[in-house]
Amino acid sequence: MQLKLGRINITDIKFGDQTKVEKGVLYVNKEQVLAAVADERLTNISLELAKPGESVRILPVKDVIEPRLKVEGSGGVFPGFISKVEMVGSGTTLVLSGAAVVTTGSIVGFQEGIIDMSGPGADYTPFSKTCNLVVVCNAPEGLSQHEHEAAVRMVGYKAAATIAEAARNAEVDSWEEYQHLNLYEGMNKYPQLPRVAYVYMLQTQGLLHDTYVYGVDAKRILPTLMSPTEMMDGAILSGNCVSACDKNTTYHHLNNPIIQDLYERHGKDLNFVGVIITNENVTLADKQRSSNFTAKLANMLGLDGAIISQEGFGNPDTDLIMNCTKLEKQGIKTVIVTDEYAGRDGASQSLADADSLANATVTGGNANEVITLPAMDKVFGSSKTADIIAGGFDGSLAKDCSITVEIQAITGATNELGFNKLTAREI
């Protein structure tokens, strides 16, 4: 499979008479987008703009989506939802790089998040640096949470697909090409290099903790092998209402830095053979089944090493350790990528599960650290939800409209793909 990504750099976003890109500015026709995203399940939908450096807070954040447009090859954007269920991962896709659609409005689940476009909170989220079309969706009383989530999810995809049409005639600033050979060709091309795969754990615990693969809820799948270019082309989408700090939004799935870094080293010091996607389960039997299948696939691929990332914390820590230990016992060296919930003082056990074989770990940071976010001039969504979102507490929202929360409440703050702003230093 061979995928070309044409990146069109967006440095500003404005409302205009037509949706287009001109000299790095994305102009959005408000009426066109609202017509495209209309959903009878919602009471009203409105559009706002949030730019880097502005005194703007978005709360509660449901999803973040990068606008992309398929112009050549099979499939289309967001397969299983916007386009038909055809294989993606090859051909040509245009990307409005630097732009994002952010969905917000009346809260779906308590595990939603905050994006501040300026101030100390902006340093914890990558989406303070994107030019955001904010889609505010409000639902009527009595709408079930699952219907509410589905409605907001589809509104986000439709908005992203609509504004991505601006890329069709825009000038491309840079091109990237990614190739994924079949197993036979890949083995023969780089026989001297260690064989490495990526084990991509998807949040699938239900109760609004859902991820979709070609439109299928991933809790219904068994672990399977995929080309990394499929993820880069929209095969995996977020339906999650999980803690904001380590939620993989749709934007994260499209721009997974582990996949990008493995491609950087592919053919140089390792042979990147593919991605094993697996789910995070609730029952012990399901955890055992999925981790067994993951280990079986890793063995069939003849792996020397694997990187394993998780999404979420607590219950999924067990899936993470199961996947890690079963690969290690087969002689496959692993690195796990996670984050920590070590208490506000950092003194508690970081993960809910552990094993001595999990001895190579990358951390996205401690989600329990506390921060005070100053008041903003504008709030898109509702500040009142600060008292009930994960990471907040009764009294998080002060009278002066500042918010004191754990960084757990900030979208992407401790992302377990490494798509965040935290780093480490020696002390």
* Beta strand 305-309 pairing with 333-340: parallel
For the chain, the farthest-separated pair of C-alpha atoms sits apart, in whole angstroms, at: 65
Query: Is residue 20 within 8 Å of 29, Cβ to Cβ?
Result: no
Structure tokens at 113: 């998040």
Q: CA 11, CA 176: separation in Å to the nearest integer?
A: 19
CA–CA–CA angle 214, 287, 154 (5° rounding):
25
Nearest residue to 50 via CA among 120, 128, 105 = 128
C-alpha span between 263 and 271 (Å, rounded): 9
Q: Is 241 a catalytic residue?
A: yes
DSSP notation for 131-150: EEEEEEEE--TT--HHHHHH
Catalytic residue among 241, 245, 324, 401: 241
C-alpha distances (whole Å) from 377 to each of 77, 116, 122, 385, 402 are 35, 11, 15, 17, 11
Closest by CA to 245, choosing from 66, 395, 71, 390, is 390
Using an 8 Å Cβ cutoff, are 170 and 26 in contact?
no
The residues annotated as belonging to the active site are 241
